[in-house]
Amino acid sequence: MDAKRAAAERAVEWLEDGMTVGLGTGSTVYHFIQAVGRKVADGLTIKAVATSVRSEQLARQLGIPMISFSDVEDIDVTIDGADEVDPEWNLIKGGGGALLREKIVADASKRLIVIIDESKLVRHLGQFPLPVEVVPFAFELTQRKLRQLGCELRMRMAADAQPYRTDNGNFTMDCEFGPIEQPGLLADALHRIPGVVEHGLFIGMAAQVIVGRSDGTVDVLDRPRP
Ligand code: 5RP
């Protein structure tokens, strides 16, 4: 079985009747939403909120009951993918362009479970370019400030050769910092740039990581001790 799918299908074990569930975004989460759809068809009673228009549409097609954020008090568990996971379980997310909603949903969740294939486990974050969501207004100035933090960046483009727009109407800068030795400090520095809406560093947010391997086996890893 595909490694991403193996991790995704294991994650449904964390769902229980009555839960409000956050649905992440990406190709791994695609398999998770499919598996949730099957569980719902078999009688599981959950409500879900989605981190992207894409995930929401897929969930609705599969008959998963969706609720609006204005009706959400607590999210019991969110299942989402990641682009990189370091040994302290800091994450880079946003390869799929949904990092802002993903971070809002993860922050509102009692538990964030990350589903990945083994290639996403890294010693240091930074081989994957860090996505940063910026407002279109004066984005050139924001790009300059980002470069001053020591990265090379490119603006993410859509298939029509126009800047890629997030579900929130913003731009995404993919920033190559090289190995990120102190992700927490970089996260703080990024937040100090006014045009930055959010960045893809998820520091200390994951509670569990489910790793699918190419032979179809799955490891469920608990949070490392600080
Ligand atoms: C989307 C994300 C995804 O979770 C991340 O890019 C991993 O994607 P995939 O499961 O397709 O490898 O952060 O914004």
CB of 131 within 6 A of ligand 1: the answer is no
Instruction: Give just the sign of the alpha carbon dihedral 217, 222, 223, 226.
Output: negative
Hey, whose CA ends up nearest to atom 8 of ligand 1? 26
CB of 26 within 6 A of ligand 1: the answer is yes
Which stretch of DSSP H or E encloses residue 191? helix 183-191
- Retrieve residue 148's tokens: 């001053």
CB of 25 within 6 A of ligand 1: the answer is yes
Per-residue pLDDT tens digits for 109-130: 999 999 999 999 999 999 999 9
Per-residue pLDDT tens digits for 45-77: 999 999 999 999 999 999 999 999 999 989 999
102 is catalytic: yes
Burial of 167 (0-12, 13-18, 19+ CB in 10 A): middle
Hey, whose CA ends up nearest to atom 1 of ligand 1? 96
CA nearest to 36, candidates 72, 79, 3: 79
Domains of the chain: 3-121+203-214 (3.40.50.1360), 130-197 (3.30.70.260)
DSSP 15-71: --TT-EEEE--SHHHHHHHHHHHHHHHTT---EEEESSHHHHHHHHHTT--B--GGG
CB of 24 within 6 A of ligand 1: the answer is yes
Q: Name the band, by pLDDT with cuts 50, 70 and 90, for residue 4.
A: very high
Residue 73: per-residue pLDDT? 86
Instruction: Give just the sign of the alpha carbon dihedral 133, 134, 140, 142.
Output: negative
CB of 84 within 6 A of ligand 1: the answer is no
Residue 225: per-residue pLDDT? 66
Instruction: From the CA of 26, give the closest atom in ligand 1.
Output: 11
Q: How far is the CA of 94 from the centre of ligand 1 (A)?
A: 6
pTM for this model (two decimals)? 0.96
Helix/strand/coil for 87:
coil
- Give whole-number Cα distances, 21 to 16, 51, 94, 102, 106, in Å: 10, 11, 20, 13, 11
Q: How far is the CA of 132 from the centre of ligand 1 (A)?
A: 14
Instruction: From the CA of 93, give the closest atom in ligand 1.
Output: 13
Using only C-alpha atoms, what is the Rg of the chain?
A: 17
Q: What mean pLDDT value characterizes the chain? A: 96
Instruction: From the CA of 117, give the closest atom in ligand 1.
Output: 12
Going through 52-200 in order, the beta strands assigned E by DSSP cover: 77-80, 84-85, 91-92, 112-117, 130-134, 152-155, 171-176, 196-199
